[in-house]
Amino acid sequence: MIFLSLITFFWSCNDMKDQPTPTLLPANTGETCKMYVLSEGLFNMNNSTLSILNFGNRSIEYDIFTFVNGRGLGDTANDMKLYGSKLWIVVNVSSQLEVVDVKTGYSIRRIPVFDNNSKARQPRFISFHGSKAYLCSFDGTVSRIDTATLEIEAVTNCGRNPDGIAVSNGKLYVSNSGGLDIPNYDRTISVIDLNTFTEIKKITVGINPSKLESDNEGDLYVVSRGNNANIKACWQRIDCKMDELVQTFDKLPVVNFTIQNDTAYLYNYDFSTNSYWIKTFNCKTEQVITENFISENTVLEHPFGISVHPTNGNVYLTDARSYTVKGDLLCFNKNGKLQYKVESVGLNPNTVLILP
């Protein structure tokens, strides 16, 4: 049964009559897709949500996961990836990995992520290679999960408080932030052999590394966030053939980024001045393309998530606003012109995922 049929069915049930009428999306967006928006909510408030936007009928369903499954996602959903026919949602404080059918929003399985002493590992981000999923957790481990059986089959150690994970050049890379041990941050990237599932090297980068993402040449880019005081954030590049840090972009204190077709979309937010910038960057020439991506007077309060449509090149930015009220989703074309805005999509929306 397709997703819309399920929605119609549930609306017809007496016990679901309190479900709000769907909000209409803006008209003439030019979009024909569906997309999920993951919102992490507030730490220790157990209010993460998953929304689905359907541009075919201009509807948005807020908190569709709770509506379909009869329970919430949990506390602080940090990451969401699509792999095969499943959504993989990483819920940090609840220490769960939620595996969801992409068409219906139904939970296929909820995988608890705890150690042998029933202590929460606190998973953060997920990556995939072949038939395996790799999940890094704040307790200094990476879990390998079989994507067919949905079982955790092995766990290996990396560094302190890993806060980013990616596969490149046939190896797994994990950024070790040490972020829970302030001011004693870590500053390494663990290189893990996928065959033996053991760490083979540590690469030294800037302090407090987080997000990792690779380009088409196999170079790996990493955000090193600094200490929010005397050490500023920087963006860095790792050569995955040599497994060495080869370039530091001191003038690009990147907070978050994404790469599509060797173009990186970068943003920074300065909490001391409440200012931000959004740039584009050529991963082949290693040069900034545009200093100011947004081409008109569109203003965000607090940029939070960034994604790119894989075919039409639209760029999606989420605005967390004050972090305590529901944030917005803004869509820009590849030239930085605002196409539309969806207000109050969720509390601290961090991930936009376009469905094929």
Mean pLDDT of 151-170: 97
Q: Is the pLDDT of residue 22 over 80?
A: no
CA atoms of 208 and 222, how far apart (whole Å): 10
Domain membership of residue 64 (yes or no) is yes
Residue range 97-112, pLDDT digits in tens? 999 999 999 999 999 9
> Quick one: pLDDT at residue 130?
96
Listed residue (31, 350, 330) closest to 211, CA to CA: 350
Domain membership of residue 20 (yes or no) is no
User: What's the CATH number where 147 sits?
Assistant: 2.130.10.10
3-state SS class at 249: strand
Secondary structure (DSSP) of 260-279:
ETTEEEEEEEETTTTEEEEE
Integer CA distances (angstroms), 130 to 72, 100, 125, 259, in order: 30, 19, 17, 21
CA atoms of 74 and 98, how far apart (whole Å): 10
Domain membership of residue 317 (yes or no) is yes
> Quick one: pLDDT at residue 21?
53
Domain membership of residue 47 (yes or no) is yes
Residue range 65-87, pLDDT digits in tens? 999 999 999 999 999 999 999 99
CA atoms of 207 and 52, how far apart (whole Å): 36
The DSSP code for 64 is H
Residue range 221-259, pLDDT digits in tens? 999 999 988 898 999 999 999 999 999 998 999 999 999
Domain membership of residue 4 (yes or no) is no
pTM for the model: 0.92
Structural domain count of the chain: 1
Q: What are phi and psi of 340, to 5 degrees?
A: -170, 170
Domain membership of residue 291 (yes or no) is yes
Domain membership of residue 2 (yes or no) is no
Domain membership of residue 28 (yes or no) is no
Mean pLDDT of 184-193: 98
Residue 266: give the domain boundaries: 34-354
Q: What are phi and psi of 10, to 5 degrees?
A: -65, -35
